Amino acid sequence: MNEDSEFFNMGFPHRDANVRSFARGGASLRLQPDDHWINCHLQPALTSSPRPSIVVLHVGENDLRHLTPPEIVDHMWALVSYIASVSHPHVILVSQLLWFLCNEDLHEQITYINTSLQDRIQQYTPAQLPGRPLTQVQLLRHQFGIWGASRQELFQRDGVHLNNVGLRRYYYSVRNAVGQQLRHLLQQ
């Protein structure tokens, strides 16, 4: 997003949005002795000025072999709650876990996590705090073929990283979800 002008600011006019991306390859929900712990990378986003209105959270695949599915759901939900309490965005979009080729044998666990996150989101009631917007939480379901038989064409040979086609599809999936939320905010 920062290297190609076509993708800069997710294509949104600067008068409408200022998109900041904080990413860390190998990020984990687990407390790590190095900087792989996702909380280390959230702080710049959560404390930026102005505070974020829309937060997209995508984490979890790196934890599939180290945490149980219920632990991943609990850690992710704790992270969602933390973001809502610290930054008070209008919406947190929680990305479903993707079925990476390297996790071919973990389809049931990934499905459990995504379903459990959807259940928690449906049961979530935002807390009303004086002077703060209600934080809505939604599951970002990617509709770009990551679950189909042809998903192999979206990954690099390592089975972990999306290739250029997969990255482009992922980008547009996130952009569409953020664009819907942005339109809603601009109409208020």
Q: Which domains does the chain have, with CATH numbers?
A: 8-187 (3.40.50.1110)
As a whole number, mean pLDDT of residues 136-144 equals 88
Please give the mean pLDDT across all residues of the chain: 87
- pLDDT per position as a tens digit, 83-137: 998 888 999 999 999 988 888 899 899 999 999 999 999 999 887 777 777 899 9
As a whole number, mean pLDDT of residues 148-176 equals 87
Question: How long, in residues, is the chain?
Answer: 188
SS3 content of the chain, % helix, strand, coil (to 5): 45, 10, 45
Encoded tokens for 76? 């992710």
As a whole number, mean pLDDT of residues 73-85 equals 92
The reported pTM is 0.90
- pLDDT category of residue 21 using cuts at 50, 70 and 90: confident
pLDDT of residue 101: 86
What is the C-alpha end-to-end distance of the chain, expressed in Å? 28
Collapsing DSSP states into helix, strand and coil, what is residue 137?
strand
pLDDT of residue 146: 66
pLDDT of 149 strictly over 70: no
pLDDT of residue 114: 95
Distance CA(156)–CA(9), nearest Å, equals 25
φ, ψ (nearest 5 deg) of residue 64: -60, -30
pLDDT of 165 strictly over 80: yes
Q: Tell me, what DSSP letter sits at residue 97?
A: P
More confident residue, 36 or 72: 72
Q: How far from 16 is each of 10, 49, 175, CA to CA, in Å?
A: 11, 15, 14
